[in-house]
């Protein structure tokens, strides 16, 4: 029997494909504006490379601050900073309201970027090109930026207030389709933001794209707000979403969590003993948890229990009632981490703990009381715990228990 020779071309192609899939790519910086300054360094001045804001919402498409060597550089009439920042490339008419093609020989300098978002100067837009490898179905991007030194000014009093103030921020990506919301957050302290997103989720263009950072509020009459930024950076991992071993886990997630992207068996592992496999912890990229940490958010309730209960394993206080999910689920008495008022008696769970009543029993410390209208006619019944709460607010007989400190989270991390 004659044996045919192996198809060397097919073997070479197969090896090349497997090598590409198994090769560990990494996040590579596409662009960065500003320096990621160390706040503990001597002479820390996070915004020194930028220009002062002009307190105006500059209209699109903006102008380009050009460097020497640019054929269009005009030292006598070089535009100053505005709300549009262009990285080097040739931008076509129609992009960002351009009426003609816009050649940009060199990326604008950091000084062409305004240092702050204010009540009257709300946005910065960064324009840049991506290539086909950066926008393929396996590509994943990370946008990182840091907002610092917030405050506000009372216009009528002509004086500033103390403190950072509250600020509402949005981040949007505009690629080949409609603008996509990447982030909408309220913050009140120096905060570093990190947003991860697949290229396909934002319809990233193998061509020109825009990332827009916008301060959306609050906007109160006669109060002026500001918040400054240290830097902003975009990185791309071109094969982050590849699954070379076919275990359902993307390569970047396996590498980040000390798993192997060449061993499919580790998808069934439970390294932290929380009752969830690595595949379940990834959860298809939706609200993923740390497969090496049993309690990802540190709220006293492990990830397996949080998934079973339906609470958020990445948020210490899912229902926002002032108690951690662990305090609610494991309390004596317990309460529901998904409900602000577990027993529906009109008293929030936190207030019931302070009151000393049972957040799972509406009449735990007091008999139900009739509810009278203004004419003295009984029109209903109040739950006993609600009646006790009202008595306490009026200086009644029940002494409140010492309050516990509310949990808080300092860092913002988004995964899309």
Confidence at residue 350, expressed as pLDDT on a 0 to 100 scale? 75
Distance CA 126, CA 214 (A): 12
Alpha carbon distances (Å) from 93 to 79, 98, 207, 339 = 20, 5, 13, 52
Q: What is the count of structural domains for the chain?
A: 2
Clarify whether residues 318 and 225 are in a common domain. Answer: no
In a domain, 19, yes or no: no
Can you give the pLDDT at residue 409? 45
Tell me if 371 is assigned to some domain. yes
191-220 per-position pLDDT tens digit? 999 999 999 999 999 999 999 999 999 999
Residue 94 is predicted with a pLDDT of 97
In a domain, 56, yes or no: yes
318 is a domain residue: yes
Do 309 and 232 reside in the same domain of the chain? Answer: no
Q: Determine the Cα–Cα distance for residues 318 and 413; give it in Å rounded to an integer.
A: 16
Establish if 2 belongs to a structural domain.
Answer: no
Looking at the structure, tell me whether residues 87 and 184 fall in a common domain.
yes
pLDDT score, position 345: 73
pLDDT of amino acid 218: 96
182 and 322 fall within a common domain: no
Residue-wise burial string across 263-273, b where 16 or more C-beta atoms lie within 10 A, e elsewhere? eeebbeeebbe
pTM to 2 decimal places:
0.79
pLDDT, position 45: 95
Three-state SS annotation for the chain: CCCCCCCHHHHHHHHHHHHHHHCCCCCEEEEEECCCCCCCCCCCCCCCCCECCCCCCCCCCCCCCCCCCCCCCCHHHCCCCECEEECCEEECCCHHHCCCCEEECCCCCHHHEECEEECCCCEEEEEEECCCHHHCCCCEEEEEEEEEEEEEEECCCCEECCCCCCEEEEEEEECCCCCEEEEEEEECCCEEEEEEEEHHHHCCCCCEEEEEEEEEECCCCCEEEEEEEEEEEEEEECCCCCCCCCCCCCHHHHHHCCCCCCCHHHHHCCCCCCCCCHHHHHHHHCCCCCCCCCCCCCCCCCHHHHHHHCCCCCCCCCCCCCCCHHHHHHCCCCCCCCCCCCCCCCCCHHHHHHHCCCCCCCCCCCCCEEEECCCCCEEEEECHHHHHHHHHHCCCCCCCCCCCCCCCCCCEEEEC
Domain at 138, CATH number: 2.60.120
In a domain, residue 181? The reply is yes
Among the three residues 210, 237, 264, which one is the final residue of a domain in this structure? 237
Residues 336 and 223 in one domain: no
> Per residue of the chain (416 residues), what is the pLDDT tens digit?
344 444 433 333 333 334 444 455 689 999 999 999 999 999 999 999 999 999 999 999 999 999 999 999 999 999 999 999 999 999 999 999 999 999 999 999 999 999 999 999 999 999 999 999 999 999 999 999 999 999 999 999 999 988 999 999 999 999 999 999 999 999 999 999 999 999 999 999 999 999 999 999 999 999 999 999 999 999 999 999 999 999 999 999 999 999 999 999 999 999 999 999 999 999 998 899 999 999 999 999 999 999 999 999 999 999 998 889 999 999 888 889 999 888 777 777 777 777 777 887 767 776 676 656 666 665 566 676 676 766 666 665 544 444 444 444 455 556 66
Q: Are residues 311 and 209 in the same domain?
A: no
Q: Are residues 57 and 147 located together in one domain of the fold?
A: yes
Answer with the one of 190, 213, 237 that is the final residue of a domain: 237
Residue 17 lies in a domain: no
The answer to whether residues 16 and 84 touch, using CB atoms and an 8 Å cutoff, is: no
76 and 222 in a single domain? The answer is yes
**Residue keyed to tokens 């609050």:** 218
Does residue 391 have a cis bond before it (omega within 30 degrees)? Answer: no
Q: Specify the pLDDT at position 241.
A: 96
Do residue 201 and residue 339 come from a single domain? no
Domain that holds residue 61: 26-237
Q: Please answer whether residues 353 and 401 qualify as being in contact, where contact means their C-beta atoms are separated by less than 8 angstroms.
A: yes
Q: pLDDT value at position 351? A: 74
Predicted confidence at residue 377, as pLDDT, reads 67
Task: Examine the domain organization and report whether 77 and 208 are in the same domain.
Answer: yes
Nearest CA to 354 among 413, 399, 414?
Answer: 399
Q: Which of 218, 237, 256 is the last residue of a domain?
A: 237
Q: Are residues 227 and 320 in the same domain?
A: no
| Residue 53 sits in the same domain as residue 197 | yes
Residue 144 lies in a domain: yes
State the pLDDT at residue 394.
Answer: 63
């Amino acid at each position: 029997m004659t044996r045919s020779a192996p198809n060397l071309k097919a073997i070479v192609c197969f090896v090349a494909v497997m090598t590409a899939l198994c090769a560990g790519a990494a996040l590579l910086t596409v662009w960065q504006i500003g320096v990621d300054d160390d706040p503990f360094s001597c002479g820390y001045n996070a915004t020194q490379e930028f220009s002062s804001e002009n307190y105006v919402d500059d209209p699109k498409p903006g102008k380009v601050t050009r460097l020497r060597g640019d054929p269009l550089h005009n030292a006598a009439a070089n535009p100053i900073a505005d709300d549009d920042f262009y990285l080097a490339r040739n931008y076509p008419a129609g992009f960002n309201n351009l009426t003609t093609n816009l050649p940009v020989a060199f990326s604008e300098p950091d000084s062409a970027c305004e240092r702050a978002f204010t009540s009257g100067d709300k946005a910065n837009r960064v324009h840049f090109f991506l290539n086909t490898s950066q926008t393929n179905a396996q590509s994943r991007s990370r946008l990182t930026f840091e907002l610092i030194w917030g405050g506000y000014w009372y216009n009528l009093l002509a004086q500033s207030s103390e403190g950072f103030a509250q600020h509402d921020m949005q981040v949007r990506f505009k690629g080949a389709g409609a603008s996509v919301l990447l982030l909408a957050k309220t913050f009140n302290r120096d905060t570093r933001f990190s947003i991860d997103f697949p290229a396909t989720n934002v319809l990233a263009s193998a061509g020109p794209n825009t990332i827009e950072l916008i301060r959306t509020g609050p906007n109160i009459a006669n109060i002026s707000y500001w918040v400054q930024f240290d830097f902003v950076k975009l990185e791309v991992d071109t094969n982050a979403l590849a699954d070379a071993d076919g275990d359902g886990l993307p390569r970047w997630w396996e590498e980040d969590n000390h798993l192997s992207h060449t061993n499919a068996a580790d998808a069934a592992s439970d390294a932290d003993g929380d009752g969830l496999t690595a595949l379940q912890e990834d959860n298809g990229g939706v609200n993923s948890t740390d497969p090496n940490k049993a309690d990802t958010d540190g709220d006293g309730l492990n990830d397996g229990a949080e998934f079973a209960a339906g609470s958020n394993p990445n948020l210490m206080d899912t229902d926002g009632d002032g108690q951690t999910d662990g305090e609610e689920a494991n309390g004596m008495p317990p309460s529901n981490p998904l409900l602000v008022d577990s027993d529906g008696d009109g008293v929030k769970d936190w207030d019931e703990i302070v009151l000393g009543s049972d957040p799972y029993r509406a009449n735990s410390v007091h008999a139900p009381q009739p509810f009278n209208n203004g004419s003295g006619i009984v029109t209903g019944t109040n739950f006993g715990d609600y009646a006790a709460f009202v008595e306490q607010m009026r200086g009644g007989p029940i002494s409140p228990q010492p309050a516990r400190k509310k949990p808080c989270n300092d860092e913002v991390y988004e995964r899309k």
